Amino acid sequence: MRLARAALVAALGFALPALAYAPAQSLRPLPRPVSTPAPQSPADRVVGPSDPLVVTIRATDLAPSASLRPIYRPGRAEQVTEIRPDQTIVAELPPEETEERGPPRGLLALLTGQNRLNPPGVTAVRVSLRPVERPAGLAAAIRAAETRGTPGRVTQPGLRGALCGQRGIIGDRLERIPGRINGCGIAEPVRVREIDGITLAQPATINCDTAVAVQEWLNDAVIPTVGRYGGGVASLRVVASYSCRTRNNQPGARLSEHATGNAIDIAGIGLVDGSEISVLDDWDGGREGRILRQLHEAACGTFGTVLGPGADRYHRDHFHFDVAAYRNGAYCR
């Protein structure tokens, strides 16, 4: 206990002199240094002990004597003096802005067209550049290139209406189809969807000679021969039309007539009652077989080539019709 009292007395002895010199109130913070305008000359500059917080910033010798004027951007036209018939605008800059600034370099030279349109030293474009027009037929050529090797019925939207000068042939007029190999393609293709009210189960991309021949065969043979059987003819099941390929897809063979739009393959006759006379199933028997044989025979002459199940193994399930011309007449098997 005695030791604690002695320590407290000693501490008070050291603290009392310091408390005697404490300020009567809190100290105010000093203001931050402020900048003043630079004097006109070093002689006018007065900095003394009485103003220790005054800071003066003096400009260096590299500072400009006046504000710099912005450089005109390339292509800016101050005064439009003439509008030519081809809509090219000719612009002139004020005389004071055509002073020499040195030749532009890098990207600026490319943007201003220094070597073609401007006199040396002028960075602004005097004549506005016109975009180059697309070559004639470029869009059509690009669309045609996309159709190479692909049947036009799936690659072109076409223009809907009557085709080939015949009101009964309905479908789309297509653009020229170039072939992916020499000899393929159709100069004036059509995509036939319907002929005289009889629909094609699959639209046929062919030429007009083939379309007109199919129309003639339908009216002269198919409709009269089928008659009222099954309610009459409703549709044709088309299984092939334009295709850039060889005959029967055999390597090294001659190009098929399908490769030029001259041919169409038909595998069945759809009837109103929903049934079908099928080349594959009905060729060899019954009333349906007799109808198919009559239709095969009637097509010979209307078409230059008529092939069916009796021709070869490649045609056992469909009729092949094309409009190729032969010196000795139609070829029918």
In this prediction, residue 325 carries a pLDDT of 87
**Helix intervals (H) in the chain:** 2-20, 106-112, 138-146, 208-217, 223-226, 279-282, 286-299
3-state secondary structure of 255: strand
- Longest pairwise C-alpha distance within the chain: 148
Residues 6+ apart with CB under 8 A from 163: 169, 170, 171, 172, 173, 190, 192, 208, 211
The residue whose two tokens read 């199933």 is 281
In this prediction, residue 153 carries a pLDDT of 46
In this prediction, residue 285 carries a pLDDT of 84
In this prediction, residue 66 carries a pLDDT of 72
The DSSP secondary-structure symbol of 125 reads -
Q: Please, what is the Cα angle at 163 between 159 and 168, to 5 degrees? A: 125
In this prediction, residue 96 carries a pLDDT of 46
Cα–Cα nearest to 322, from 41, 78, 333: 333
Residue 244 near residue 169 (C-beta atoms within 8 A) = no
3-state secondary structure of 281: helix
From first to last of the 333 residues of the chain, give the pLDDT tens digit. 666 676 666 666 655 555 555 666 667 777 776 655 555 554 445 545 455 555 566 767 777 777 777 766 665 444 444 444 444 444 444 444 444 445 555 545 545 554 444 455 555 556 667 777 778 777 667 655 654 444 544 456 666 778 999 989 999 999 898 877 888 999 999 999 999 999 999 999 999 999 999 999 999 999 999 999 999 999 999 999 999 999 988 988 899 999 999 999 999 999 999 999 999 999 998 999 999 999 999 999 999 999 999 999 999 999 999 999 888 889 999
Residue 225 near residue 295 (C-beta atoms within 8 A) = yes
As given in the structure block, the two tokens for residue 81 are 């003096």
Cα–Cα nearest to 291, from 310, 259, 268: 268
Residue 325 near residue 304 (C-beta atoms within 8 A) = yes
Give the rounded distance of the alpha carbon of 45 from its chain centre: 72
Decide: pTM greater than 0.75.
Answer: no
The DSSP secondary-structure symbol of 323 reads -
In this prediction, residue 293 carries a pLDDT of 96
